[in-house]
Amino acid sequence: MPTTLADAQNLVSDLISRYSSRVDYLMIRLEEAEGTDILLRGDKVETLSEGISIGGHIRACYKGGWGLSSFNQLSTIKERIEEAIAAARMVGDEETLLAPIDPVQAVCQLPLLGTDPRKISLSQKKQLCDRYTQLLKSVDTQITTTSVRYGDSAQRIIIATSEGTLIDQSWVDMEMRFAATARNGETVQTGRETTGSRKAYEDLINLDEQVKSAAQRAVAALSLPPVKGNTYTVVIDPILTGLFVHEAFGHLSEADMAYENPDLLEVMTIGRRFGPEELQIFDGAAPTGHRGSYFYDDEGTPATTTQLIQDGVLVGRLHSRETAGKLDEAPTGNARCLNYHFSPIVRMTNTWIEPGKTPVADLFTDIKEGVYARNWLGGMTNGEMFTFSAGEAWMIRNGKIAEPVRDVTLSGNVFQTLADIEAIGDDFYWDESGGCGKGGQNGLPVGCGGPSLRIRDVVVGGEV
């Protein structure tokens, strides 16, 4: 891997100039990554590893057809370029439509605000995981299973294109996941917590209360009554709002989803109303300090902030250069790939709902019987349909939070749910725990956030 931008330029400039005349577009992406992965299940160490990977890929486009070839030996780069060009020329039979961007030459590094995890030994990271494991187990004797996962990665990426772009970009990402399962006879309950950071290793070392809360929720849920399945007015906290806006709405805003599905493209018509006038939804990598933040995406497009819904109306969507070109819209800097084994595809970055004006306490007013749901346990989406499991929940009775309940799942159609938002809280929380999956590229760091929401007519699953 070249050590400076000048070295990279010397390596790729000749190759770009030599081969670019044979295709409409050519990109060389070099990547150097190192990271740590630790997984403890109870007292058993399932994973304890450090690794370094060096490689890259070539992307070529000819008459709308793409060729990709990846490698982990620089000595084979010429052969890989030939492969990518041959593949593109084999499948291309239309027109190459890439939304224009200005060529840029830049060296940029996402700044750390504290300790770089690469300066912490593997044994220290393992000790941190051991301590959190003991915390989970110490909460109650009914805790039967625990898991603690630690991961960090540092990536340096160099992108060079036939249009004159040359970018050297690097960042560090960290994540921890905790789970505890409690059992009482046939009743089994699980609590989870996840956190992440692109700022400092210190963000992971003082999580005692958060870790214990996962086990405490699992134990407490053993003695709670299941919620009675029904349709309720529901109040959700900012963490569930973030999950909802990412999973249920954000993926539908990715333009490749709409472009490849004419029915969805018709539904996601710019100018269509989806929610109340107070509703504002954004996605963008430009806000600094979050796990989905960067300076340039994996096509060299500058990071932006894209408003998706303005005053309840759809006004934007997320693009790569190709989807922007095909839909005659502006690129948004949302082409991302997990690593050099994959092509960039349209992905969310940091996705959020802006806070509203309703005090959180007032969200509960006049709800005769409803559900208050906080945190997340799991979830799934299928097109415009979603189902999420709440980490903890309470009944709402006569405008007040009442008894806690368990086994709360929230289901619905995302478009109807957006339309059913009755009030938007004046609070806000950034959740940095996200690892997004799409197209086989799982665990891509993202951020999401939002305020508390009051939503009518939500289907709540539980005991009938």
DSSP string computed for 82-134: HHHHHHHHHH--S----------EEEEEPPPSS--GGGS-HHHHHHHHHHHHH
Percent of the chain topping pLDDT 70? 97
pLDDT at 342 over 50: yes
Longest dimension (CA), the chain: 73
What is the tens place of the pLDDT at every residue in 213-258?
Answer: 999 999 999 999 999 999 999 999 999 999 999 999 999 999 998 8
C-beta separation of 445 from 198 below 8 A: yes
What is the tens place of the pLDDT at every residue in 41-51?
Answer: 999 999 999 99
Instruction: Name residue 139's amino acid.
Output: V
pLDDT at 458: 97
Helix axis angle, 5-19 to 77-91, nearest 10°: 40
* Class in CATH terms, 7-222: alpha beta
336/10: higher pLDDT:
336
Cα–Cα dist 438/214, whole Å = 27
Cβ neighbours, 10 Å, residue 398: 11
Domain ranges for the chain, please list them: 7-222, 230-461
pLDDT at 433: 87
Helices and strands in the chain, H and E counts: 9, 22
What mean pLDDT comes out for the span 420-438? 94
CA within 13 Å, CB half, 20? 15
Cα–Cα dist 171/154, whole Å = 6
pLDDT band at 5 (very low <50, low <70, confident <90, very high): very low
Which residues pair with residue 350 across a beta bridge?
A: 447
**Alpha carbon distances (Å) from 316 to 99, 298, 307, 402, 449:** 16, 21, 6, 40, 18
Cα–Cα dist 162/78, whole Å = 15
Task: Return phi, psi of residue 239, to 5°.
Answer: -65, -45
pLDDT at 77 over 70: yes
What mean pLDDT comes out for the span 17-32? 95
